[in-house]
Structure 1
């Protein structure tokens, strides 16, 4: 076996057609990550759930900065309880064959890039399961700039880690002991975090409610659906305050007339300015089909 094996990563992520890191890990664009930071957990959850991705969320965490959103690209690892022969074989292999330094957790953190998030199955081990402390969290901060860690296990040095403002850490518990009696069996492979599954290159969205792992090939669709929901809500709030529509009309499927009103508003309203990269022809066409009407030329898309 190899740690961080490009052939394995390519095999695991065949639906991603965009840029990749040299090791094959999908590299969702920085612009898309920036847009992802503005969406809510529920907005991200909906498009995934509706496409059969029903095991992407886990909420049973403690959070270093509970009010902050974390977004980044997943770098994954799986740890298991120590078995001496397995432990010695894999540690020696990493040191001698792959030139890695230190303990298993350091190998992962030494590989991080900007906007990465460490995602580790520490099998819910807290005592001697502290994957990071003050030093390694500082290294994560330096390497990722805006990333962080999701650890199904423990951390230590909480009073130091909480002072690191530019990253976030999701974890199960804390303990003063150092990491021990565990072995890494996978780096950048499939990783289970509670009841969720994460693959290398997934977009990690951490919110006050928990963490959701978004497959890279669905990241753009997820953001676009979320942004469309947001701007439609803005329009709906405005029209409800004006008394133009009822809540039943806003909450139901929109007819062609309502869509025309929305699109005219969307093209000129200051409240919609940050969303003007969005396109609405699909939604308008669907409304026309539902009404059984022909095409109209009075709306610019």
Structure 2
């Protein structure tokens, strides 16, 4: 076996058609990541659920900075309980055949790029299961700039880690012990985090409610649908305050006349400026096909 194997990563992520890192990991564009920082957990969850991705969220974490949103590209790892023969084989392989230094967790952090998030299954180990402390937390901060870590296990040096402002860390518990009696069996492989699954290159969205893993080929769709929902809500609030529409009309499938009213507002109102990159041709055409001349009773998702 090989750690961080390019051929395996490409094989696991065939739906991604964009740029990749040298090791084959999908590289979702930085502008999509930046836009992702402005959406909510529920806005990301909706498109994933509707596309059949129903095991992408886990909320049972402690959070170093619960008030901050975390976004980045996943670098994954799997740790298992130590079995001496397997442990020595894999540790020696990494050192001798792949030229890695230090312990398994250091190998992963040495791979990090800007905007990355470490995603590690530590099989919920906390005592002697502290994947990072102050030193490795600082290394994550330096390498990722604004990423962080999702650890299904423990951390140590919380008083130091909490002082690192530019990253966030989601973890299961704290302990003063160092990491021991664990072996890494995979780097940049499919990884289970609680009830969720994460693949290398997934966009990790960390919120106060928990973490959701967004497949790279759906990242742009998730962002666009979230932004469209946001700006439609802005329009709806404006028209409701004006008394132009009822709440039933705003919350139902829009008529052609409502869509035309919205698009005119969207193109001219200052409140829509940051959303002007969005296009509405499909929505207007769909309304015309349905010949919707008045409000429908269908509630929009």
Pairwise same-fold verdict (TM > 0.5): yes
User: Is the 8 Å Cα contact of residues 147 and 168 (structure 2) preserved in structure 1?
Assistant: yes
SS at match of 1:291: coil
Q: How many residues align?
A: 293
Partner Cα distance (1:9, 1:85) in 2: 26
Does residue 36 of the first structure (1) align with residue 36 of the second (2)? yes
Residue-by-residue CA offset, 1:221-248 (whole Å, 9 max, x unaligned): 0000000000000000110011111100
Partner Cα distance (1:80, 1:168) in 2: 24
Q: Residue in 2 aligned with 1:57?
A: 57
Partner Cα distance (1:62, 1:255) in 2: 45
User: Is the 8 Å Cα contact of residues 255 and 292 (structure 2) preserved in structure 1?
Assistant: no
Q: Residue in 1 aligned with 2:22?
A: 22
Q: Residue in 1 aligned with 2:67?
A: 67
> Shift of the alpha carbon at 1:292?
6.6
Partner Cα distance (1:180, 1:85) in 2: 15
Does residue 285 of the first structure (1) align with residue 288 of the second (2)? no
Partner Cα distance (1:292, 1:78) in 2: 52
| Divergent runs of 4+, >4 A | none
Which structure 2 residues correspond to residues 142-221 of structure 1 after superposition, within 5 A?
142-221=142-221
Partner Cα distance (1:212, 1:229) in 2: 19
Q: Residue in 2 aligned with 1:82?
A: 82
Partner Cα distance (1:180, 1:139) in 2: 20
TM value normalised by structure 1: 0.97
Residue-by-residue CA offset, 1:21-46 (whole Å, 9 max, x unaligned): 00000000111100000000000000
> Shift of the alpha carbon at 1:287?
0.8
User: Is the 8 Å Cα contact of residues 9 and 24 (structure 2) preserved in structure 1?
Assistant: yes
Partner Cα distance (1:240, 1:175) in 2: 52
Q: Residue in 1 aligned with 2:4?
A: 4
User: Is the 8 Å Cα contact of residues 204 and 211 (structure 2) preserved in structure 1?
Assistant: yes
TM value normalised by structure 2: 0.97
SS at match of 2:125: strand
Q: Residue in 2 aligned with 1:231?
A: 231
Partner Cα distance (1:84, 1:8) in 2: 26
> Shift of the alpha carbon at 1:288?
1.0
Q: Which structure 2 segments of 5+ residues have no match? A: 294-301
Q: Which structure 1 segments of 5+ residues have no match? A: 294-301
Q: Residue in 2 aligned with 1:117?
A: 117
SS at match of 1:151: strand
Partner Cα distance (2:175, 2:8) in 1: 34
Q: Residue in 2 aligned with 1:299?
A: none
Q: Residue in 2 aligned with 1:297?
A: none
